[in-house]
Every structure is written in structure tokens, then in C-alpha cells.
A and B are shown apart, each in its own frame.
Chain A
Amino acid sequence: MAEPIISFKDYGFQYLAQASPTLYHINLDIYPGEKVLIAGASGSGKSTVGSCINGLIPYAYPGESTGSLLVGGKDPARESIFNLSQIVGTVLQDTDGQFIGLTVGEDIAFALENDCVPQDEMKETVQEVAKLVDIDHHLEYAPHELSGGQKQRVSLAGVMVEKVQALLFDEPLANLDPAAGRATIELIDRIQERTGAAVIIIEHRLEDVLWRRVDRIVLMDEGRIVADMQAKAFLSGRMLLEHGIREPLYLTALRYAGVPVTEAMEPQHVGSLRLSEAQKENVRGWYRASGGYTEEKKEKPVLLDVENLTFGYTPERTNLRDVSFSVREGDMVSIVGKNGAGKSTLAKLICGFEKPTAGRICLSGRDISGDTIKERAQRIGYVMQNPNQMISRPLIWEEVELALLSGNMSAEERKERVEETLKICGLYPFRKWPVSALSFGQKKRVTIAGILVQRPQMIILDEPTAGQDYHHYTEIMEFLKSLNAQGYTIVMITHDMHLMLEYTPRAIVFSEGELLADTTAAHVLNDPELVERANLKETSLYTLSMACGVDNPQEFTKRFIACEEAYRKREEG
């Protein structure tokens, strides 16, 4: 066998500023041409492993290491980060932040410029690589003219100009809509076939990465490698749930149906899955038995009514065209669609940040077009994607109280209101803590508490779970669900198909500024045409139910969700 391109031997690492090591006894060899997925929950150390491979450790993040690590036969601690960058190319998670050049061409050429490559040669290479990632018709474009997926392709091209032997992707799916994410996985696969480079993908969204072949899955937990095996062996075990990673939905469904997953079934991909007639019958049997799913409850009065809303940032281009829908009291709704489809714009119009060019927005039957941002905020709360974009006070108490300070509430009343809100959000024990001591998920709660304290009837959340692992995802979503159960109306803008399916009975689908559909979440994902037009992705449940000959995939999905919810309740209670 060839020499490994990356080789960890009993490697340990501790960041300079931290009290205990982040990595313990890592033993990992990655060979040329291999495709390895490194999975793990947040804080498992998977990103640290990535930083060791590309040289950011110790170059940008100093610390102490034990054992040995060789990248391309060299010790990263003794090589400059520049030499390493010619062996390993890294595509970071933030598609926007890593776009350095003012245009696509410049960004791809960045590494070549630093290498003092003559201009003619540089232009040739850029053209060649741009073609490989299919961005060669956009060389003159500025970053803001590109979609997230396109920016990511530019970044990929930017590291490929170096003829690297290994490509490292740090959570490549985090900022992409479902279809763009799928395209990325396909592209990575194609690139590997052509270049033969080793590919390392760090990601916790297992099912999405497994859309294409993966040779090995390395699972990390608390700084240790807990599994390092072939994808099919890995998936036939039950390691995932124990380590905070979400199991692919089709495997969960098989488990519910009492079908044991074995290596022989080729479980690494829903398309390759081999089921015997008896197993298929098991799935159908489960489907029939798990009926009795209760239909919609009684309809509540309409809270938000959007009528013929049209808006454009510039007169030439409309971002939303003639959008109408309504949300009832106590609803929990997802708004989905690809990047730039107009979802965020809609939220801004509802909150009054922008003024519509036509149409109107009514709240409980009253036209609120004349209301200011502040007036609307009393009834509609808006929570941004990243809690760090909202938190502006050092202490939790102050942060939550902030919105009340501008009213005429007495100190007593404020105290009461803040306490009550903190209790609802499960933050009461932390009320005197500084915000900085909290985890990401807890910070998210603080920002939601900062909105709830105004007692709005409705909360709009922008990507509430973006970049969160399964544990945090469940924590945030269960919290939102409990708020919903208390009567709050919740509207979420999301890319996450699982979220939509599991938590919101209803989904509103946007594409190119138009409302495409307003229906049940299960229906959206079982309608191939809708999925295609809105840049979504059908779930593996759909594929599985078709393969098993279930007559109604939509109903199959619904029953699966109901079953999953029942399991979750049982685990909690």
C-alpha cells in the first residue's frame, strides 16, 4: 500500500488558552485518493483535527502537541503554513468570508499571485480550474453577484490551482440550501475522480454527505476517535445516536419497522440499499400498523395576513412578487426556498424594516402598514440567525431587559417580566451570569428571551438551527416547540428539510420571489416537481417508501414523524 498522505500517530493537542487537551491519542492514516468523512458533534474535536492537517495549528492557533503528525511526509510544526498549503487545500465553512478577491478570477488566482506565477500562466490556470468547477462563465463577477454554492465553487477552485494532494472541506454544507449542498457533494466526487486527490470532509450532516460514495467514516467524540471504519460497517452499527450524530432517516425508518441493518444491505446510501421482499413487507407492515395519525386540529383565527405583497430593492428588480398567505394563531410554519428566493426579504417587510411597493400586511385584521418598526415589534418578534448579531449587553439579565427599557414600565414590573421570561426560557438559574459563559444554543435562547420579553404574539426566526449539531438542534427546536405549545405563533425561515418535516406541519415555499406552494411539509418533500423548482431535496424516506412499494409516500413520511416524536417523548419521560 502507498504511503499515507496524512498520518496521525498517538497525537494529542491542547490549545494554549485551554485547561485541558482538545485531542487525545489520535491515530489516523489517510491515503492518496481516499475519501474520508470526519463526523462528530460540536466540540468533539473534529475541526481541530482539520486545523492540524492544514497547518492552522500551530501557525494561527498555538498550543502543545504530543505524539506525531506527518502531512505529505512532513511535520507541520516545522513546515511553514505555505508549504503545507501546497499539499493540502482547505475550503472553509464561511463561503463569504473566505472570498478574498474582488472578482471570481482574482480570487481563484490568489494563491498563484502569492507564488509569483507569471500572469499569462496564471490566467491559463485560472481558466482551466474554473472550468473544472464550472464557474468559468463568471470570472468577472463580484462576490455579491454569486450564490452561496457558486462562492463555494470559487473557493474550491482557489485551492485547486495549487495541484494539491489532499482537499479538506470544513463543514461544506453549513451555509447552503439543500439542492446546492447536494450539488457540492456531487462536485467533490467529480473533482476527486479527475484529480485523484485525497478528500477529507468534516461534517455532522451524515446523510447529506453520503449522497455520494465515502470510503471511510471517522467518528469523533470528546477529542477521541471512537470509530474509524467503512461506511457500510459504520452504518450497520448503532454508534451514531450514542455520539450525538443524526442517523440517516431511512435507517431510522428501517429500525422502526424492525428491519435490522446489516453490511450486506449496502446501507451507506438509500439508493444502493438492498432489501429482501420480506424486509420490504416489514416496512409496509409498519406503515399499515402506525396509522391513526390524527388530522389537523380546529382552525384558529387568522393572526397575520399578507396580501399581494410586492417589493424590490431597486425599481428594476422585484425581490417579491404578489405574495399572499396567512398565518393562524398558534401556527408553526416553515418558510423554505433557495438562497435569494425572497424569504429574508419577506421577514423584513413583515417587521417593517423595508416598505412594500404594493400590497398590505394585516395583523389580527388590522392593516399595520403605517406602524413603525417599534410598534410592530410589540407584536412580532424577529430573531436573527447568529445570536452574536443580537447580543449587546454583557449580562444575561441586562440583555433580556433591554427591550423594556425604552417603554414606561416601572422597575418592579420590568423585574417581574424579565423573571417570568427567563423562567419560560429555562434561563432563570443563569440570570446573573455573563452571556459569554453560555454555549451557542443557550445564547440563542437568550436572544429569543430578549424578544419574548416584549410579549409578541408571533416570532419570526431566521435559520434557527444553522450550523448546529443534532444535540443543539434538538435542544433549540424542542424549546421552540414548547413555546408554540404555550400559544406563541412561530414562523421559521430555514434550509433544513428535517426541521421543516419534523417540527412544522405547514410549509410555505418560495422561489425567485414568488410563492410556489403553501401546504404540508410532508407534501412539499414528496412532490418532485416542487422540490426541483425550489432547490429543495426530497428526503430518503420518500426514496425508501417508493422502493418498498408503499402506496402513499406522503403519508409514510407523516407516520414516520409521528412515530419519531413518540420515541422522543418516551426517551424524555
Chain B
Amino acid sequence: MARIAILNYIKRPSPVHELTGTTKLIFFIVWSVASMVTFDTRILLCMLAIGAVIFRISRIRIRDISVVLGLAAVFLLLNNIFIYLFTPEYGVELYESRTVLLAGVGRYTVTAQQLFYHLNVTLKVICVVPVALLFIACTDPSEFAASLARIGVSYRAGYAVSLALRYIPDVQREYTNISQAQQARGIELSGKDKFFTRLKNSVAILLPLVMSSLNRIETVSNAMELRGFGKEKKRTWYTQRSLKRNDWLTIGFAAVILVIDLIVTFWDGSRYYNPFL
């Protein structure tokens, strides 16, 4: 089946791949917190550089994740546009100064402070997104549930993730089969028909798909119960790996980043690094 790989596990030999899922998950969470907390441009630039290095080490190529990166870029752009539309003077408020670069219409002028604020927002996103994508692209799906359980998420919730990963491809295949068979009965789903007709036609695929998915759910839940899922409060994991030296180093590194981040950010009592005063 020709499936478009949008975002999935990409198996390649690299030190990032070798880290356990737990390590990567912790790193990802700490990294996200660190970049969310700070508006310190210097820190963000440092993190950006570190992120780029990690990306290199992981051997994941931009091309592999280009679709998602593109999507992220679009959202980032929209986000910036809306911030400006709703709060064009927010930067002035934050940085307590006003340097007009371009006089505009009404409240929409362009100030250096506002641009600087936008720069920071953008940097934060650029810091987080690649690391998030790396986490997904470099973590064997088998390890997801186990890693979530290790950091304290209930294993039932963790296993739901695992099951989704297991059955989504099956449902996709089912969808293709059903939609092809329905197209053969003259049900058009392409743009040729009117919107309303298309909407009505999509029901022709959804009903059989829902029916077959419900069947599948019954089988899966029976199969799981027959093999003792949910018996104990805890469970062990076949795929879980114990943390090695590199894992501890990575977690330590993440902690160091967070500490430096917090110290530098709050040193002067404000989250915002202000070059204007």
C-alpha cells in the first residue's frame, strides 16, 4: 500500500536512537519546559544551536520530516499574524519603551519592541518543534507505552497510545478498501460533486468503517482480557530497556540546561530579556 509517511519512526543507527524511550521523553519534557518558561533571547539562541547539533547527531534528515515542518511553519506564521492583529503594542508594554520603525494606520505601527517580541515567540517554537519531531522519529513505537509508564503515566493510558499505533495502519487499509468499493458504485468523493453531495457520500464510507472498527474493538478488547490485561496495578514491559550511561548523561544534561535556563531567566526578576533599557 502506498502510504505517505508523514510522521513515523525512522530507524537509523545513531546515538539518539540508542537512548531509551524514557530518556528521550524526559529530555523532551524538560526541553519544552525550559523553552516555554524563558523569553530570554540569549538562552533561546543557545538552545536552538544545541537543538541543531542534536538533529545532526540523530541522522534524521530535514527531508524525512519536511511535511510536518511545513505545517509547523504555517501555524507559526498564522500565530504571529494573529498576535500582531490583536496586540500590536504588546512588545511596547513588555519592554517599557517604544521605538517606532514604521508608522502605520491607527494602532498598527511597527515598533522594534514588537518585532523583538515576535522574534522571541518564533524562537521558542523553533526550539521545541524539532526536538518534539525527533522524539517521535527516533523512538521505537514499542517503547512509547513503556516510557510513559516509567514516568508515572497509568499503563492503561500508555497502552492506548500503543494500540493506536498498532491499529491505525489497519484502519487506514480498511478505509482504502471500503472507499474503493464504494467508488465502484458511483459514489464520488473527489471535487467533481457539490459539497453537500460529497458530505452525504462520505457517510457511505463512514458507516461501514465504523461498523468494522467496532467489530475490531470487540475482538481486541476480548483478546486483551483473555490474556490478563488490567489484572494488576502495574505491569512489566517486554521492550523496556534499562538506562545506560548515555541515558543518565542525557538526563543530567537536560537538568543542567533547565537550571541554567531558570537562573539566567529569573536573575533580574523578570522572564523577559530586555535589550531596550
Contact = CB atoms under 8 A, between A and B. Distances in A.
Interface of A: 54-56, 59-60, 80-82, 85-86, 90, 92, 94, 96-103, 105-106, 109-119, 122-123, 126, 143-144, 158-159, 313-314, 348, 351, 353, 373-374, 376-377, 381-382, 384, 386, 388-393, 402-407, 450-451, 454
A450 B162 CA distance: 38
A390 B227 contact: no
Nearest to A386: B212
Contact of A90 (B141, B165, B226): B226
Contact of A100 (B163, B186, B203, B231): B163
A116 B232 contact: yes
A402 B181 CA distance: 13
B221 A451 contact: no
Given A81-B225, A406-B186, 17 more contacts: A82-B230, A85-B227, A97-B215, A97-B216, A100-B220, A100-B227, A102-B165, A102-B166, A109-B238, A119-B236, A158-B227, A353-B183, A353-B184, A376-B184, A377-B186, A402-B186, A406-B188
Interface centre among A56, A390, A450 (most CB of B within 10 A): A390
Interface in B216-238: 216, 219-232, 234-238
Given A373-B183, A374-B186, A405-B186, A392 B203 contact: yes
Nearest to A122: B238
Nearest to B186: A406
Nearest to B2: A313
A53 to B, nearest CB: 11
A385 B187 CA distance: 19
Interface string B204-215: 110110011001
26 contacts: A92-B219, A97-B219, A100-B227, A102-B141, A102-B142, A102-B165, A105-B238, A109-B238, A113-B236, A114-B227, A114-B232, A115-B232, A115-B235, A119-B240, A123-B238, A373-B180, A374-B183, A374-B184, A374-B188, A384-B178, A384-B181, A391-B207, A403-B185, A403-B186, A450-B185, A451-B185
B228 A114 contact: yes
A21 B183 CA distance: 42
B238 A115 contact: no
Nearest to B233: A116
Contacts of A60: 221-222, 225
Contact of A94 (B166, B219, B221, B234): B219
B141 A388 contact: no
Contact of A115 (B187, B220, B231): B231
A116 B230 CA distance: 11
B177 interface: yes
Contacts of B2: 313-314
A111 B177 contact: no
Contacts of A118: 236
Given A60-B225, A392-B205, A382 B234 contact: no
Interface of B: 1-2, 141-142, 162-163, 165-166, 169-170, 174, 177-178, 180-188, 203-205, 207-208, 211-212, 215-216, 219-232, 234-240
A384 B224 contact: no
Contacts of A59: 225
B231 A82 contact: yes
Contacts, number: 168
A516 B163 CA distance: 39
Contact of A114 (B181, B215, B231): B231
B183 A113 contact: no
B166 A389 contact: no
Contacts of B142: 101-103, 106
Contacts of A353: 180, 183-184
Given A60-B222, A353-B180, A454 B228 contact: no
A406 B192 CA distance: 12
A393 B224 CA distance: 32
A10 to B, nearest CB: 26
Contacts of B216: 97
Given A103-B142, A113-B235, A377 B229 contact: no
Contacts of B222: 56, 60, 92, 98
B98 to A, nearest CB: 56
A391 B209 CA distance: 10
Most B CB within 10 A of own CB, among A94, A113, A158, A314: A113
A92 B219 CA distance: 8
A157 to B, nearest CB: 11
Contact of B235 (A103, A114, A377): A114
B185 A454 contact: yes
B204, B208, B211, B223: most-surrounded residue (chain A CB, <10 A): B223
Contacts of A391: 207-208
A143 B173 CA distance: 14
B5 to A, nearest CB: 12
A381 B184 contact: yes
A291 B16 CA distance: 74
Contacts of A113: 235-238
Contacts of B221: 60
B227 A351 contact: no
B207 A97 contact: no
A158 B228 CA distance: 11
Contacts of A404: 186
A112 B165 CA distance: 21
Given A123-B238, A314-B2, A406 B187 contact: yes
B225 A377 contact: no
A53 B142 CA distance: 32
Nearest to A385: B177
B86 to A, nearest CB: 44
